[in-house]
Amino acid sequence: MKTGIVGASGYAGGELLRLLSNHDDFEITYVSAGTSAGELITSVHPHLVSFEGQRFSATEIAEINKCDLVFLALPHGESASLVAQISQSVKIVDLGADFRLASSNSWLSFYGGAHAGQLQYGLPEIGSNKEAIGKSSRVANPGCYATAIILGCAPVVALGLIDSSDLVAVAASGTTGAGRSAKVGLIASEVVNNLTSYKFGGVHQHIPEIEENLELLAHSKLATTKLSFTPILAPMPRGILATITAKLVKPSNIEEIRRIYGSYYAKSEFVKLLPVGQMPQTSATIGSNFAIMQIVIDDHTERLVISIAIDNLGKGAAGQAIQNANLMCGFPEDRGLPSSGVR
């Protein structure tokens, strides 16, 4: 399939190029980047030696429409105008936020500007999403934090085992999650030997995305999802480690909860519950599309505690986008995705 990547000069775009270069069914025929158009791909992504001598193209609708499949890896707010012009014959996976939210009020509050609407949400492991993605031609890829937190909560939210109106999550992310644009707070002298919270106090844009999708999974349609979320910038390039806690609605034992998680994700290629005593590490997910987690019950507070790690550029972006594209095009969902990470 003729495959394009729009916004390929960013970190997620570079990861798409790396992964797609080893995909048997997606042939990269168009690689565009706005301000980097005309530059050598290897001048921006020096690790992509297989693209030596190739240059970024300008972003043009006519060229996009020559593709069978296109990945949009653009800053938030830039995909909507392009999607409106792309031919219906072209399958689209949008890695931006433009089409993730159902609520126009939430979009206005957390992003601002006009709400473009909603596409099929691309988190295959929850609810009936996998089947719906397979029937879709346009899919909204989830946010990185949203991926980790939703996967961590989904099994117990679906069975009504926790009070979803009292979710608390703290998650640390690598610097690539902030994009490639030059920012003083992201230079090495500021990041190394430092941890800092940001978008503090319930203002992070992934909150409504998480709440909306967990409410769709809720055991009771009357259930309300409320999340207190604190993101942290960690001194590492890539990876997310999220810790989520939730009040149990009735006394439970960890063996029962582990069976529930094991059953919920039994057919999921990329979500793994670790053996008892083994903790998730971000380094174990780098370069992969895996989400690995551990769960425990804090008996003192009667809260379930979930620890989950993903690669923010893998399962949190490019890897998941390819997983979605595989499903959309009728291929095995793991086609072209590494079976293990790098360390």
pLDDT, one tens digit per residue, over 144-181 is 999 999 999 999 999 999 999 999 999 999 999 888 77
Position 189 scores a pLDDT of: 83
Task: Identify the DSSP state of 251.
Answer: -
Judge if 180 and 93 occupy the same domain.
no
Judge if 25 and 126 occupy the same domain.
yes
For the stretch 176-181, contacts whose Cβ atoms lie closer than 8 Å and that sit 24 or more positions apart, written own/partner, are 176/11, 176/237, 176/238, 176/312, 176/313, 177/144, 177/238, 177/240, 177/312, 177/316, 178/233, 179/10, 179/11, 179/75, 180/9, 180/10, 180/11
φ/ψ (deg, to 5) at 137:
-110, -10
Judge if 136 and 199 occupy the same domain.
no
Position 223 scores a pLDDT of: 83
For residues 241 and 237, what is the distance between their CA atoms, to the nearest angstrom? 13
Segment (H or E) for 300: none
Residue type, 56: F
Judge if 229 and 322 occupy the same domain.
no
CA distances from 24 to 313, 321, 331, 334 (A): 21, 16, 10, 12
Alpha helices in the chain (DSSP H): 11-20, 41-44, 61-64, 79-83, 104-110, 129-134, 144-158, 188-191, 206-217, 254-264, 319-328
8 Å CB contact between 157 and 218 = yes
Judge if 188 and 58 occupy the same domain.
no
Walk along the chain (343 residues) and give the pLDDT tens digit of each residue.
Answer: 999 999 999 999 999 999 999 999 999 999 999 889 999 999 999 999 999 999 999 999 999 999 999 999 999 999 999 999 999 999 999 999 999 999 999 999 999 999 999 999 999 999 999 999 999 999 999 999 999 999 999 999 999 999 999 999 999 999 998 887 768 888 888 889 999 999 999 999 999 999 999 999 998 777 899 999 999 999 999 999 999 999 999 989 999 999 999 999 999 999 999 999 999 999 999 999 999 999 999 999 999 999 999 999 999 999 999 999 999 999 999 999 988 888 7
Mean of pLDDT over the chain: 96
Judge if 192 and 57 occupy the same domain.
no
Expressed as residue numbers, the domain containing 219 is 145-312
Position 181 scores a pLDDT of: 76
Task: Specify if 195 maps to a domain.
Answer: yes
Task: Specify if 343 maps to a domain.
Answer: no
Residue 110 sits in a domain whose CATH number is 3.40.50.720
Task: Specify if 333 maps to a domain.
Answer: no
For residues 335 and 332, what is the distance between their CA atoms, to the nearest angstrom? 5
Q: Bridge-partner residues for 32, per DSSP?
A: 6, 57
User: Which of 67, 144, 153, 329 is an active site residue?
Assistant: 144
Whether pTM exceeds 0.95: yes
Cα dihedral sign for 299, 300, 303, 307? negative
Judge if 45 and 169 occupy the same domain.
no
Judge if 17 and 100 occupy the same domain.
yes
Task: Specify if 179 maps to a domain.
Answer: yes
Q: Could you give the number of structural domains in the chain?
A: 2
Position 241 scores a pLDDT of: 98
Task: Specify if 337 maps to a domain.
Answer: no
Q: Which two tokens stand for residue 106?
A: 């939430």
Position 112 scores a pLDDT of: 93
144 given a catalytic annotation: yes
Judge if 212 and 294 occupy the same domain.
yes
pLDDT tens-place string over residues 266-282? 999 999 999 999 999 99
Judge if 161 and 133 occupy the same domain.
no
8 Å CB contact between 264 and 154 = yes
Task: Specify if 297 maps to a domain.
Answer: yes
Position 184 scores a pLDDT of: 82
Position 188 scores a pLDDT of: 83
Residue 178 sits in a domain whose CATH number is 3.30.360.10
Judge if 11 and 95 occupy the same domain.
yes
Judge if 119 and 206 occupy the same domain.
no
Task: Specify if 55 maps to a domain.
Answer: yes
Task: Specify if 271 maps to a domain.
Answer: yes
